[in-house]
Structures are given as C-alpha cells and as structure tokens.
A and B are shown apart, each in its own frame.
Chain A
C-alpha cells in the first residue's frame, strides 16, 4: 500500500514535470504566455515561502518573536547588502538557529 503511494506519486510528479517538455504536444507559447511565465520564479517560490515564514506550526504568527519572520528579514537584508546568495543563506540560517535557541 505504501509502495503503491510512492510509485503513484512518482508517476504524477514526473508527468507534471514532463508533459510540456514533450515536443509532440501541440502547444505554441504566445509572447503573452512567455511574459506570464517570466513571473514563475518569484511567484511560485514566494508562495512556497509564505506559509513557512508566517505560519510556523500551522498558526499565523506575526509577532516579533517569530524566529522565521525575523530570520527571513535578515536573509533579505543580507542578499541586498552582500549580493551573495550562498553566504546570505548560510548566515540567515545561523541567525535562525541562534534566535530559536535564544527566544
């Protein structure tokens, strides 16, 4: 039963990823569609982050002692200041674990 779930999920995820890469699928992308898809990175990745940052433990948390929120702000600040993706990521994670331990 669990193996059925695993293989079923594997197939679904692969189809999701592959279907538009298939050249025989008759889809032509208009310039509008291309512009729309240009917003895919900021749009989708932000949507993934939102609940993680604002709703730890599935509860809306807008308090200043929410370590997720504080460390995210630190991460944004670091990227803007250093322009270094990896450094900002690692430093903000360090800040996060410090805050969790401290708050």
Chain B
C-alpha cells in the first residue's frame, strides 16, 4: 500500500508537464484517469508539445506499453477464470506496480480483492497526485527539472533487488539493463520492450542450461 506514495513524484510530473505543454487541466487529468500509464503519458505529452501527429503518438504508446501484454499473459492463469467484470476491472488496473506485487501469487494465493485494492489505491493516488501536479504546474514553473523521475527508478530497484536470488535472474537483469541503455542510446522507439524481452530470453536460456547441468 505505501508503495502508492512512490507514484507521487510521477503523478506530479505528469500533471505539471501537461500544463507546461499547454493542455487544459481537464485534458491533463483525463490522461491520468483514462490512460493510466505513467511512462506513456509522459512521452505522449512530450510528443504533443513537439507537435507530433496522432498516429505516431499512438504507435509509440503501443510500443511503450507492450510490456502489459507480457503482464497479461503471465497473470492469465489467475485472472482469466474470473467473471467478466473482474477481468475488465483488474485488466484496466494492471500496472507495472500491481504486476510486481501480485505476480508471485499462484492460483491459491491470488486474492482478487487484494489485487483490486492495490490497483484502486494506485489509481486513486495517481490521479490525486496528477491533480496536485496540475495545480502546482499552473503556479510553479520548471517543476519537471527537479529530477522527479528518480522515484520510479527507486521504486523498481526496491522491487527488483529482492527477486534477484539466482544466477539466471542476475543474467536476466544484466542483459536487460545493458540493452535498455544501448537501445535508448540508439533512440529506438521500442527500446524498452525489446530490452526487456532480451533480458527475459537470456534469463530463460540460462535457467535451462543451469538445470541441465545440475
């Protein structure tokens, strides 16, 4: 639950950047309440500001958020047997953070109410902080230069580090890290998902080799 506090800087950033890019406050809030995807929102705002077309923004969104396909696939065994309302609700709330918190649960441990609670908490926190960002962004210029993006790195590092317990996971993280920096350096639009896949593949292959030897 307290993890939702970590969305604060991102929400503030999303809100204040929207104002900076000359979106109306309602549009800024709409991004957070309808799209509800931090990275995609920030990139889209940047592109709107730069005068990019609708199509290129949508394509970038698709690539940037394609990690959710993987999340959906891996949560499939626990969520797809649920009734439609639950699937749509949890599907809408399936963020990086929710996935990180619930993905280790198998069918017995998975509690739909817990997932819904976590998801809604993130949703509400995200929107409240966006609102705060919109208000602050309208009154204090230059909020985006404060380095608020570190909070997301801090959150994810805190979530990843305890998971790294064996050699294949170390390989996975190392490959993913290296590729993400390299691909971003080359400015590939799909840098994120490609490097994630590269890391996952490396971990998977390493896991196979590791098991065969022992």
Chain A interface (Cβ < 8 Å from any Cβ of B): 1-10, 12-14, 16-23, 27, 29, 32-56, 60, 67-68, 71-72, 75-76, 79-80, 83, 85-86, 88-89, 92-93, 96-97, 100
Q: Which residues of A contact B153 (CB under 8 A)?
A: 49, 52-53, 68, 72, 75
B126 smallest CB distance to A (angstroms)? 13
Contact among B36, B39, B80, B150 with A22 in the assembled complex (CB-CB below 8 Å)? B80
Are B80's CB and A21's CB within 8 A?
A: yes
In terms of DSSP, what is the predominant structure of the interface of chain B?
A: helix
Among candidates B68, B73, B185, B207, residue contacting A37 with C-beta atoms closer than 8 Å = B73
Contact of A75 among B72, B80, B88, B154 (CB under 8 A): B154
* Whole-angstrom CA separation of A23 from B50 in the bound complex: 40
Whole-angstrom CA separation of A103 from B174 in the bound complex: 28
Q: How far is the CA of A27 from the CA of B75 in the complex (A)?
A: 13
A16 touches B68 (CB 8 A): yes
Closest Cβ–Cβ distance, residue A21 to chain B (whole Å): 5
B184 touches A51 (CB 8 A): yes
Chain B residue numbers with a CB within 8 Å of A12 are 58, 61-62, 65
